[in-house]
Amino acid sequence: MFWRLLPYLRPHGRAIGFGLFLLLISIPAQNFHPIAWKVIVDEVIGQRRAEILLPWVGLMFAVQAVGSVLGAWRSNLLEKVGQRLVYDLRNEVYNKLQRQSLSYHHENRTGDLQARTMGDIDQLQEVAVQGTDSVIANGLSFLYVAGVLLVLNVKLGIATLLPIFLVFVLTKYFNTKVKTLYRESRDRLGDVGARLQENLTGLPLIKAFAREDYESGRFRKATDVHRALQFRAINARTVFFPSVQFVGFFSNILSIGYGAWLVLQGQFTVGGLVAYRGYWWPLFAPINQLAAVNEMLQRAQAAGSRVFEVLDAPEVIADAPDASELHLTEGRVAFENVSFAYTDRKTVLQNVSFAVEPGRMVALVGPSGAGKTTVLNLLLRFYEPNSGAIRIDGQDITKVTQRSLRSRMAMVPQEPFLFNGTVLDNIRYGNPDAPMADVEAAARAANAHDFIAELPGGYDTEIGERGVKLSGGQRQRIAIARAFLADPAILILDEPTSSVEPESEWIVQQSLERLMRGRTTFVTSHRLSLVRGADTILVFEEGRLVQQGSHAELLTSGGLYAAMYELQMGEGSTAPRETGAAAAVP
């Protein structure tokens, strides 16, 4: 995991290097005082040299102060490096998620991806900087103190250090127990996050069906699994850490007992024994800290594997290495023998071919699941065709950059998505630098200016998450104003009036007619009254394009469209064909 993180640490190499330099100076300074204790006991007290007492006390104070300042400086430096690492890594994960295809996001739960982007990266930050710093600092501190102890008395030093090697055996056993446990715990925490995110999003539905108790039970089950794994981890930790502490305490008893015996034998001094006692904590604290860091490493290993799974996931929809900018000259769109399947089991589109001339409106109709929305998703290159090609002004859209392709399009979806912010922010989303006069013109064209002016803050009114403070028709008109301001060459309308209240539908249709003028427009709708004026109507059934023509031509020729129209408008026979036309009833 460290080697995976190294590229993110490399830009901060100078700060890390300076921090290590400060560490090398601060360790001897912070561990100087037991030497002073030895001198005071052996020389000042034992030899009655009172004249050196104050100098040694002053020296001990000065050296400790320098060590503390250097240690604080190093800590501040490296913690900031840690935050920069989190910043870089979190932004890279976010950008990776933005580049991923819709199929990736459909296969992965939003709450789990949030947990990886937030909690797992925070866990990584601890080991990448704090953990690494702790390993190096405690390792060097242990080696320094161990060296001093051996210099003071080789026999006592060996006796003191020997039990500590048991810690390595305990650590290896602990790692074996918790490695997979921590990974599973992080995964289950992702399940909890996913359940929480889904339930908060669906809270109105939960309340409407009085399913609070049911959902509380589902959430409790998810947290129960995570709790059980945490209990197992706690059991492992409560065996490991006390064992390490017992080894340290045993080493301390050994050093005091054996050291006292050496003093009685005249092989050691009382001051040396006092120094040994002073060095017990600087010797054992690194061992204790390294045991804690080891546990942190195991957590970070689990968290890091989840983060790098996101970063390593292949991007199904990616710009070709030689991708060029889309050069839009007219706006002619052509589908050429396009087939597509979301999975290997079912084909959604089969050999679909059609062309839309510049500035024309084409409507896609058919029963639910016939493939209409899939056509729009392929045009936006949210998915890639399994075979065939989609061309705009003769350019294969897989050969142009996604940014240049989508920047020439605008979409008004079935459920308009508005961000938590102001009306102005949402209208400007597709054109952030648009002047206010253009914003108001777009709002007027979308029949939105009047109701916006009546809001408490006008265009600066906060509309809440997903525009919750507005009605369905108001949200849709803001989405249309957003499309107006983006001024696209190709317009995509996916069931644009299906979620609009009846009293707003006529107003929305008026604004849509203005928006479509002069643009190559794709419309899907189950409401055939919206598509009657299309230049061409494409009729889909079970993934095949079965009819195309104008409204009048399709009524004259009969078939699925005529049956759907008769059923919906009440003209002629009300009995639908057995082809699935009844599924088209809104």
* DSSP 8-state code for residue 109: -
Report the pLDDT value the prediction gives residue 157, as an integer from 0 to 100.
77
List phi, psi (to 5°) of 303: -65, -45
Cα 428 to chain center, whole Å? 25
Report the pLDDT value the prediction gives residue 337, as an integer from 0 to 100.
94
Residues 6+ apart with CB under 8 A from 550: 534, 535, 536, 537
Helical (H) or strand (E) element with 552: helix 551-557
From residue 19, alpha-carbon distances to 81, 123, 586 in Å are: 10, 21, 67
The answer to whether 74 and 21 are in contact (CB under 8 A) is: no
Report the pLDDT value the prediction gives residue 546, as an integer from 0 to 100.
92
Report the pLDDT value the prediction gives residue 390, as an integer from 0 to 100.
94
User: Which portions of the chain are predicted below pLDDT 50?
Assistant: 571-586
Instruction: Work out the widest C-alpha separation in the chain, in whole angstroms.
Output: 122
Retrieve residue 382's tokens. Answer: 């949210």
Helical (H) or strand (E) element with 544: strand 544-549
Retrieve residue 32's tokens. Answer: 């100087």
Buried (b) or exposed (e) across 73-112, using 16+ Cβ within 10 A?
ebbebbeebbebbbebbbeebeebbeebbeebeeebbebb
Retrieve residue 521's tokens. Answer: 């427009």
List phi, psi (to 5°) of 108: -120, 135
The answer to whether 439 and 424 are in contact (CB under 8 A) is: yes
d(CA 331, CA 430): 19
Cα of first residue to Cα of last residue in the chain, in angstroms, is 54
Assign 3-state DSSP to the chain and report helix, strand, coil percentages, each to 5.
65, 10, 25
Report the pLDDT value the prediction gives residue 353, as an integer from 0 to 100.
93
CATH number of the structural domain 318-408+489-586? 3.40.50.300
Does domain 418-487 correspond to CATH entry 3.40.50.300?
yes
Global pTM reads: 0.67
List phi, psi (to 5°) of 268: -155, 160
Q: What angle do CA 11, 12, 13 make, to 5 degrees?
A: 95
d(CA 429, CA 441): 15
DSSP-derived 3-state class of residue 560: helix
Helical (H) or strand (E) element with 260: helix 212-264
Retrieve residue 350's tokens. Answer: 């089969």
d(CA 459, CA 175): 58
Q: Same CATH topology for 318-408+489-586 and 418-487? A: yes
The answer to whether 361 and 533 are in contact (CB under 8 A) is: yes
**Cβ atoms within 10 Å, residue 482:** 25
d(CA 422, CA 460): 5
Does domain 2-312 correspond to CATH entry 1.10.1740.10?
no
Report the pLDDT value the prediction gives residue 130, as an integer from 0 to 100.
64
Cα 73 to chain center, whole Å? 32
The residues spanned by each domain of the chain are 2-312, 318-408+489-586, 418-487
The answer to whether 473 and 511 are in contact (CB under 8 A) is: no
The number of C-alpha atoms within 13 Å of 584 and in the hemisphere containing its C-beta is 32
Read off the pLDDT of residues 423-470 as tens digits, 9 standing for 90 and up: 898 888 878 888 999 888 888 888 888 888 988 889 998 888 777 888
Beta bridge partners of 515: none
d(CA 2, CA 324): 38
Q: How many residues does the chain have?
A: 586
Report the pLDDT value the prediction gives residue 571, as an integer from 0 to 100.
45
| Dihedral-angle region of residue 366 (phi above 0 means left; psi in -120 to 50 means alpha; beta otherwise) | left
